[in-house]
Amino acid sequence: MAEPAQKKMSVIDPKTVKPLQKMPEDTPVLPSLHSTIGAGLLVGQGDIATVMIEKPLPEQYWWAEYDIDLEQLYFVTVDAHIQGLGFKIHPPQHRHLMNAKKISIVEFTDEDKFKTPYIIPLVVRTNTLTDLEAGQ
């Protein structure tokens, strides 16, 4: 039996990309959450952080990952897309986010009410690029 044909993804030459150029439809990286629907981050001393959004999510999220090197929070969708939160995680938030295990995503409505939280696992990468370069 023949294997099903796999869809080819567009190959983009980084030298030809212009600022604000529209990316191909099959690009696995989505525009940032903050730039598309508005988002904020709340962290505390517990094991859960909260992302507040102003509109529905574009896709269902599977998990979140905190990249301590880039100081960025990313979301992985069930369709294998990646979407960044869209802003840097600063030191006070970093300290608490390093201990979090889950992300609660809460959508606020026009009436200043919120919908039921959507909770996903949070993966925090604890090895930095510096650690890897040092052979640790």
* 10-68: pLDDT as tens digits: 444 555 655 555 555 666 777 788 888 888 888 888 889 999 988 888 888 999 999 88
* Residue 85 in tokens: 């939160």
**Residue 50, both tokens:** 């909260």
pLDDT(103) > 90: yes
For the question of whether the overall pTM of this predicted structure is more than 0.75, the answer is no
Long-range contacts made by residues 23-31, C-beta under 8 angstroms, separation at least 24?
A: 28/80, 28/81, 28/82, 29/81, 29/82, 29/83, 29/84, 30/58, 30/59, 30/77, 30/81, 30/82, 30/83, 31/83
CA distance 36 to 34: 6
Does 117 or 9 have the greater pLDDT score? Answer: 117
What rounded mean pLDDT belongs to the chain? 78
